[in-house]
Chains A and B, each alone.
Chain A
Amino acid sequence: EVQLVESGGGLVQPGESLTLSCAASGFALAPYPMNWVRQAPGKGLEAVSHISHDATTIWYADSVKGRFTISRDDGKNSLYLRMNSLRDEDTGVYYCVRDINWALDIWGQGTMVTVSS
């Protein structure tokens, strides 16, 4: 079965750091661009970061630029999101998403990140 499984979410205080992981199974990550998309409680979807298949193109939303770092390890079939200097407004469900032909076709189940003092 083709799937993405996120892990690493949790409760942290403002200013702390967290690293999210996304493990792909049923397919090889290597040929695909990948993304992180988040959703604050009761709110809409927000694209957070994108990495091309060869990591030559990386994009961040203005809201996280300078604080978050996306990376991939195709040997481990995994995607990562390092989140530093976390803020209350970073709270939400974070989805790992595969990108095929400019559509987001495979979504993980999401991992919850809560930033609160």
Chain B
Amino acid sequence: QAALTQPASVSGSPGQSITISCTGTSIGLHKHVSWYQQHPGKAPKVVISEINKRPSGVSNRFSGSRSANTASLTISGLQAEDEADYYCLSYADSPFWVFGGGTKLTVL
């Protein structure tokens, strides 16, 4: 069963940088890895696509990378508004899509 593992929670102070990891076999097989930000009661929003591409309108404080079977989302210059849940998503063939379990980011 394809699965993506994320830390349950991360935290950082305003101005600092944090990194959220996402580990799974499918991560290393292709470039179809994306990251989503979800604020409470809201629909998710894509912040990174294709491992490291930032969609139009997304702050350049968000960046993505990959090493072997682990993808990472880095948020630099943390701001209060970054406090949210973050999910990675990978195309996995079978299953077609798989989400990570989600990481709660707390801005201290």
Residues of B at the A interface (CB closer than 8 Å) are 31-32, 34, 36, 38, 43-46, 49-50, 55, 85, 87, 89, 91, 95-102
Residues of chain B with a CB closer than 8 A to A101's CB: 49-50
**B interface: dominant SS:** strand
How distant is the Cα of A69 from the Cα of B28 in the complex, in angstroms?
A: 31
Residues of chain A with a CB closer than 8 A to B38's CB: 45
Measured as residues with beta carbon below 8 angstroms from the partner, the interface class of chain A is 20 to 34
How distant is the Cα of A47 from the Cα of B36 in the complex, in angstroms?
A: 13
Segment touching B, from A19-27, A84-92, A105-113: A105-113
Q: How far is the CB of B13 from chain A (nearest CB, A)?
A: 26
Q: Is the CB of A103 within 8 A of B50?
A: yes
Q: How far is the CB of B69 from chain A (nearest CB, A)?
A: 18
Q: Is A16 an interface residue (CB 8 A)?
A: no
Q: Which of B91, B96, B97, B102 contacts A44 (CB 8 A)?
A: B102
Residues of chain A with a CB closer than 8 A to B100's CB: 44
Q: Which of A37, A61, A103, A109 contacts B49 (CB 8 A)?
A: A103
Q: How far is the CB of B10 from chain A (nearest CB, A)?
A: 15
How distant is the Cα of A110 from the Cα of B45 in the complex, in angstroms?
A: 13
Q: Is A74 an interface residue (CB 8 A)?
A: no
Q: Type the 1/0 row for A64-93, where 1 means its CB is closer than 8 Å to any CB of B.
A: 000000000000000000000000000000
